[in-house]
Structure 1
Amino acid sequence: MTITRFTPFRSPWSDVALLQNRLNSIFQDFGHTSGENESLTAGNFVPAVDVYEDTQKVVLKLEVPGVKQEEIDIRVENQTLTVKGERKFEAEEKEENFHRIERRYGSFVRSFTLPQTVDADAVTATYDAGVLSITLTKKAEAKPKQVKIGVGSAADKPKQVEASAA
Structure 2
Amino acid sequence: MSLPRLWTISQELDPVRAMRREMENAFRAFDQKPSPPEIGAGAPAISVAETNDAFEVTAELPGVDEKDINVSLDDNQLVISGEKKAQSTKEEKDWHVEERSYGSFYRSMLLPFEPEEGAVEAHFDKGVLHLTIKKPAKTVKTTKTIDIKTGAPPSASPISNKAAAPSKAA
TM-score bin, normalised by smaller chain: 0.5 to 0.7
Structure 1 residue runs of 4+, over 4 Å off?
148-151
Shift in alpha-carbon separation, 1:94–1:121, aligned structure 2, 3 A: same
Gaps of 5+ in 1: 6-14, 32-41, 152-166
Match of 1:22 in 2: 30
1:49 alignment partner, one of 34, 46, 62: 46
Match of 2:100 in 1: 103
| CA positional deviation for 1:63 | 0.4
Gaps of 5+ in 2: 1-15, 149-170
Shift in alpha-carbon separation, 1:94–1:22, aligned structure 2, 3 A: farther
**Partners of 2:76 and 2:114 within 8 A in 1:** no
**Amino acid of the structure 2 residue aligned with 1:130:** G
Distance 2:48 2:114 in 1: 15
Distance 2:92 2:77 in 1: 39
* TM-score, structure 1 as length reference: 0.63
Q: How many residues in Structure 1 have an aligned counterpart in Structure 2? A: 129
| Alignment root-mean-square deviation, CA | 3.2
Distance 1:95 1:54 in 2: 51
SS at match of 1:27: coil
Distance 2:78 2:126 in 1: 22
| CA positional deviation for 1:65 | 0.9
Distance 2:42 2:94 in 1: 23
Task: State the Cα deviation string for residues 20-57 of structure 1 (Å, max 9, x = none).
Answer: x63353624x88xxxxxxxxxx4343211111112111
* TM-score, structure 2 as length reference: 0.61
Shift in alpha-carbon separation, 1:149–1:112, aligned structure 2, 3 A: closer
Distance 1:54 1:124 in 2: 15
> Percent sequence identity over matched residues?
29
